[in-house]
Chain A
Amino acid sequence: MSKVNRLLSAALVVAAIVSACGGGGGAATQAPAATEGPAIVRLGWAGSPDTLNPGAAVLSEAYTIFALVYDSLYEFQLDGTYKLGVAESADVSDDGLTWTFKIRSGVKFHDGQPMTAKDVAFSLNLYKSHEDFPYLNTYTYSFESIEAPDDSTVVITLTGPVPNIDYLLSYLYILPEHVWRDHAEGSAAAEFENAEMIGTGPFAVKEYKQNEFVHLVANKDHFLQPPKIDEVVFQTFENQDALVQAIKTGQVDMITEMPKTAAPTLRNEPNVKLVTGAPFSPDVSDIIFNQVAPENCPKDAGGVCTGHPALRDRNVRLALAHATDKKKIIDVVLLGLGDPGLTLIPNGLGRWYNNSLADYGYDVAKAKQILDDAGYKDIDGDGVREMPDGANPLIFRMNWPSDSTNAPRMAELLSQMWLEVGVKTELQAQDPDALTAVCCPAFDFDVILWGWGSDPDPNLLLGVMTTEQIPTGSSETGYSNPAYDDLFAQQSVELDSAKRKDIVWQMQKIAHDDVVYIIPFYAQEVQAFRTDRFGGWITDAGKLALEDVSSLVVIEPVK
């Protein structure tokens, strides 16, 4: 046998060994759940936390993990309400400025140390004192002071009455003072890696590798909701087709996201259940009109305000709303998995969502009529209308962030729909950072297709439409209405929840009547789980989030 032949046969042997491992492994992968050993739930998702440090984290995946590993004074629930967490009671003074919390006794951190009111006060003060914490710091703005007079009492003094303290406190995770004490000062806090991630929550971190997996173990001694399963693994799949394949072949038990096109095939897959519902933190898609008035142009903040003057006219925006076929957009872009949108407050926000508003119907004739009546006529007969004074045809620049998957198709559809009523668009995708630079507070655009991520409380997105936000860059439309601004101020101090809801509804009506935005859709959450592995997933509690603590503490292996 020559050496070349020997080489070749060696290669064949390697290939044989390799395929042998493959075959043998196959059986192991398909092994049923009900074998001995710990009950491990595997979740597939496309993302990964950026860091385990709650102060520094930006990505929503990180907050999903925080909610499992940490507790707070209040816990957010899927029906949109809050319940007490590590606090057993909450009292507020008559002026609404002093909140006193009684902290449960016997709560322990994952490392065995007891958790007391001192840890609570320490954590809240940590968030308050760190301006370099991008998010959690903002939830403490209205806190004057946080004190722990004894081991079971926390007193929070506010600078003014706050209607949604439960919402604010639900994000302020309780950290162990004995761990964070050495990392509390200056830039050390935001730079702390927090790899151990000691908390009091129903799950503890066992191992974390960024962009690979988060491995959690159950805290069976949790005071409120000890999990029934033993371990949870969040596994990152960079490729969404692989994610779908992984649940089909049983390599994961649940997936939190998937390409829209995969939904129909998963619906017919045996042992897999596809569920849809309102998202946990809904993303709102918006069509932004630059309507900033010349006198409101934030020149000091870099405003150049080059928007098309027609967009400052409500008639034009109203006509475009009537010319927009939301149903078609939902069918084409989301393959039907969405609901027509009204304002920035999505239906996923439950009672805060004003469901009494009637949407502008898709009606091309009416849209044309509105434009004709307002004096926008096609004078030169090129199919594009001109301004009432005859100059300046209605040609709008339309931009969207280049990382958006939905926007390109939506832009094309809108371009066709609006051309039917004599409005032309020039389409161009832009790098998200470049888009921010032209958007706000520069107001150097006409129309942008973009979106917001929403909090459970409407305050954040209602604030986006206030005059105050024009120079800060949060207002992307430049909309300014004193009546709306007044209502915003009122709702932010209204302690009576029912009254606050009325004001919030009123604000949505104003924003809708003025056509500040066109909201094409509220996308539905689409998730899937395997029915042959674990049972008891919560799918009908208002919001859909199988990765939320509510599901993970109640599911059990299928017998």
Chain B
Amino acid sequence: MTQQDLAEAIERENTQLESIERRTHISLLRRLASLRLTLWLIALLAIGTILALRQEGARTWPMVIPLGLLAVNLLSAIATNGVFRRQTALLVFHLSLVALLLLVAAGRLTYLKGHAGVTEGTNFEGVLAEVERGPWHNGKLSSVSFVNNGFTIEYAPGLQRGATRNDVAWRDATGRSQRSVIGDQEPLVIAGYRFYTTFNKGFAPTFRWQGADGTAVFGSVQLPPYPMHEYSQALEWTPPGSEVSVWVMLDIDEVLLDREEHSTFRLPEKYKLVVRVGNERHEMRSGDTLSLNDGTLRFEGLRSWMGYRVFYDWTLPWLLAACAVAVISMGCHFWQKFAAKPWDA
């Protein structure tokens, strides 16, 4: 055998090996694209959904595994199944499902949700009481600010809550002042962060705290939500910069929300503010001051506070677009399919 024959034989063998390898890949892709597998994976996703519903702490993997496998199954089907090349609408529908999946994944990696309570007449300064965020969230909540200018809520007999109207003000990206009324169905949206009013709202005694060094700071105590916790309007509070713990209780001496009549959420006019420091009990009225070991506490008056649900997910408009494409393409696919032949043909 000459050297040239040997080279040709090696080349032939390589070509054969490549062909076998390609056939193996195609065979693997075809297996991954199996329609029977699709049905199993849809069933697995249903089981994962039930698991996720039942176990709040285990909602990620029961969904991620079947959805990931379905995506692989679908992409393999698109790569190997000629139906997708012949039926554009079907292809677009399935691609939009993949896009939805990717968008939901991106949303889960970058989302933020939390809660914040803002006292009337004060600023939201980017701090949340409870927060949950995706590992890649890099939004700028700390630069978001707005003022809660107060709210109105009507109640029907039986303490049935009506519409919430919350007056808010903020500066837009160009620095101009903006003002709006938000409430049910109407969030405040700043820099992609959406602020929703909630049923959590109540009263906030407001204090001026002057420490031993003479610096004065304003602060408010957001008492538990009203009327949900009507009979436990008390909270422990430490004035800013102080180490003294102050127990604050609002004792309301009037019916604010009548269960028998239509009424409106409002601040009480007849009330006592009970402040307890250690074993000492004090009743304070607006303007009263109380001297403590490391400063002076002055009661400035009672205000309301509103609890906001905060939500950030940049994928929302894209998700809607992907859904629209999915439904339209699915509709087109079925229309073409059914128009081609009557059902009783």
Do A and B belong to a common assembly?
no
